[in-house]
Amino acid sequence: MPNYLLRILLALFFISIVAQKSEGEFEQWCIADEQTPDDELQAAIDWACGKGGGDCSEIQMTKSCYLPNTLKDHASYAFNSYFQRFKNKGATCYFRGAALITELDPSYKGCHYEFLP
């Protein structure tokens, strides 16, 4: 095998090891699916921030994740809050099809999306 191919393979192997978290897990966040109708997003937010037990304080007016003030952005924060808090107890990122998993950190500016291993 040519030397440059071996180097490429080793680099790819190293990248896959570095990106991977302990026990074979990758960092994952739960966000709103852009194709979900607003009424379904709102119902899922209400559940995640209410009975679901997510911490939605940061999407309240004057807080760091209030802007942009869109249903999709608030839903993404609420879904992720619930998912991170309860994923180790069997919670999923489903919300009746209104959410999906991403491995790209959705945090922006002063708004931090929590990740818990």
> At 29, which CATH number?
1.20.58
The predicted structure's pLDDT at residue 15: 53
What is the structure's pLDDT at 8? 64
pLDDT of residue 37 exceeding 50, the answer is yes
Q: Mean pLDDT across the chain, nearest whole number?
A: 89
Q: Tell me whether residue 14 is in a domain.
A: no
Crossing angle of helices 38-49 and 71-86, in 10° steps, is 40
Please provide the size of the chain in residues: 117
Return phi, psi of residue 9, to 5°: -60, -40
Give the separation between CA 16 and CA 65, rounded to whole angstroms: 31
pLDDT score of 14: 47
Answer whether residue 81 shows pLDDT above 80. Answer: yes
b/e per residue, 3-25, with b = 16+ CB within 10 A?
eeeeeeeeeeeeeeeeeeeeeee
d(CA 68, CA 104): 19
- Using omega within 30 degrees of 0 as the cis cutoff, is the peptide bond preceding 106 cis? no
Structural domains in the chain (count): 1
Percent of the chain with pLDDT over 70: 79
Distance from the first to the final alpha carbon of the chain: 39
In a domain, 46, yes or no: yes
Q: Domain residues for 115? A: 23-117
Q: Is the pLDDT of residue 31 over 60?
A: yes
At residue 25 the predicted structure's pLDDT band, cuts being 50, 70 and 90, is low
